[in-house]
């Protein structure tokens, strides 16, 4: 006979609750011991009953030794490889910060130069760097300007095509209207002129 799924809620009958506690406690301690033996792991288990009675299991040594080890591992005494990873991360962050500081300083010098201050205190190398920055800025401005001009030319070409089509359409209509008017005038003239009958 198969057992049904046990609902996870408090067992109301105190006798059944105590029996279940004893069985499950024994099962947990047995599993902890098996895990310790199979995997050579240090395991510590605390279990307090509903009446406050303590049950414990320490796989190697005593429970106090495991508690001390746990306390050391959680209070900041990190293993060597974690410290190495942290210092490498910190070194990368410091390098990036220094690079950004240099870039900010360079941009500030460009701003001072562009608005008329600070060029008198610059040496030849700094002026050369500023020249390169300005050349790059001019190149960017020119390329943006050329792109805008090409877009304007394309817009004008499109307008030219539309205007040519409209002009052709209007000329066609005008030609048709002139022909209609000429035909009407000829018909009126023909109606007004009487030819002699022979």
Query: Is the pLDDT at 75 greater than 60, yes or no?
Result: yes
Q: Are residues 131 and 187 in the same domain?
A: yes
So what's the pLDDT on residue 103? Answer: 85
CA distance 14 to 25: 16
One domain for residues 173 and 162: yes
Tell me whether residue 4 is in a domain. no
118 pLDDT higher than 60: no
Residue 1 within any structural domain of the chain: no
Average pLDDT of the segment spanning 156-175: 90
- Other CB atoms closer than 10 Å to residue 66's CB: what's the count? 18
What confidence tens digit (pLDDT) does each residue in 120-147 have?
667 788 778 778 888 888 898 999 999 9
Per-residue pLDDT at 152 exceeds 60: yes
Mean pLDDT of the chain: 82
Residues spanned by the domain of 26: 14-77
Structure tokens at 81: 């490889």
Is 69 a domain residue?
A: yes
Q: Is residue 67 part of a domain?
A: yes
Q: Helix crossing, 80-114 with 124-192: angle to 10°?
A: 70
Beta bridge partner(s), residue 47? 55
198 domain residue, yes or no: no
Place of tokens 């060597």: 80
Has residue 21 been placed in a domain? yes
Query: pLDDT at position 89, please?
Result: 80
So what's the pLDDT on residue 87? 78
Q: Report pTM.
A: 0.36
Q: Of the residues 122, 156, 179, which one is the last residue of a structural domain?
A: 122
What is the per-residue pLDDT for 148?
A: 92
């Amino acid at each position: 006979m198969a057992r049904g799924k046990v609902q996870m809620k408090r067992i109301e009958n105190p006798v059944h609750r105590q029996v279940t506690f004893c069985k499950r406690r024994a099962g947990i301690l047995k599993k902890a011991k098996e895990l310790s033996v199979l995997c050579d792991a240090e395991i510590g288990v605390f279990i307090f009953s509903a009446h406050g009675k303590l049950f414990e299991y320490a796989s190697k040594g005593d429970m106090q030794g495991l508690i001390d080890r746990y306390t050391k591992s959680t209070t900041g005494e990190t293993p060597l490889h974690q410290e190495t990873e942290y210092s490498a991360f910190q070194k990368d962050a410091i390098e990036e910060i220094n690079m950004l500081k240099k870039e900010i300083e360079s941009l500030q010098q460009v701003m001072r130069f562009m608005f008329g201050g600070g060029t008198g205190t610059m040496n030849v190398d700094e002026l050369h760097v500023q020249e390169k920055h300005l050349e790059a800025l001019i190149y960017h401005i020119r390329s943006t300007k050329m792109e805008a001009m090409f877009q304007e030319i394309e817009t004008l070409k499109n307008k030219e095509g539309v205007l040519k089509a409209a002009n052709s359409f209007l000329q066609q209509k005008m030609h048709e209207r002139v022909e209609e008017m000429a035909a009407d005038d000829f018909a009126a003239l023909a109606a007004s002129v009487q030819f002699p009958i022979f």
